[in-house]
């Protein structure tokens, strides 16, 4: 007997699971998510406790995408009743001539993303037990960055689909 679905998503990692979740939230009733391993397995790149996330990216498209993503994580947290994101801030540092530092700071400024800049020396004074950054380096602290609880998020997408 044939079974038909409106949408079939192959791969139950974070991308496939979130795609299935949002397809179902858009009103598509028959969504099938296929995964070759059991739920919450440790064989794929979506396995693990945490991932870091931030707002600043060189390309404006990614900044817009992250703005939307942060709202969607918050919505999923409410639906699932679990914490999926912890706002810890995000610290990046390097020579002020490095492209990554220049583009990161430019993105933060252009997009009005809350941040602080300080020297490596100041960072070592702020975080004396955690960091030993060359005093000549520039540090950028992005206030909206943080930790995503990866395994918990994956299950939330799958369970609340």
Domain boundaries, the chain: 1-47, 49-149
| pLDDT tens, residue by residue, 58-86 | 888 898 899 999 999 999 999 999 999 99
What Rg value do the Cα atoms of the chain yield, rounded?
Answer: 19
Task: Say if residue 71 is exposed, middle or buried (CB neighbours under 10 Å; 0-12, 13-18, 19+).
Answer: exposed
Between strands 7-10 and 31-34, the pairing is parallel
| pLDDT tens, residue by residue, 101-135 | 999 999 999 999 999 999 999 999 998 888 899 98
**Two tokens, residue 43:** 């064989």
CATH superfamily of 49-149: D-Amino Acid Oxidase, subunit A, domain 2 (3.30.9.10)
Q: Find all residues with CB under 8 Å of 40, minimum gap 6, and list them.
A: 151, 154, 155
The DSSP letter of residue 39 is: T
């Amino acid at each position: 007997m044939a079974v038909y679905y409106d949408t079939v998503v192959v791969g139950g990692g974070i991308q496939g699971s979130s795609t299935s979740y949002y397809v179902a939230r858009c009103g598509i009733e028959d969504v099938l998510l296929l995964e070759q391993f059991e739920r919450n397995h440790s064989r794929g790149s979506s396995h693990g406790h945490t991932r870091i996330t931030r707002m600043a990216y060189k390309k404006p498209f990614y900044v817009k995408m992250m703005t939307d993503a942060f709202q969607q994580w918050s919505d999923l947290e409410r639906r699932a009743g679990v914490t999926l994101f912890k706002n810890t801030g995000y610290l990046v540092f390097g020579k002020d001539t490095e492209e990554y530092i220049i583009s990161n700071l430019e993105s933060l400024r252009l997009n009005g993303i809350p941040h602080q800049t300080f020297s490596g020396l100041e960072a070592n004074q702020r975080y004396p037990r955690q960091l030993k950054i060359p005093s000549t380096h520039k540090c950028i602290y992005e206030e909206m960055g943080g930790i995503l609880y990866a395994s918990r998020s994956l299950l939330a997408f799958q369970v609340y689909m």
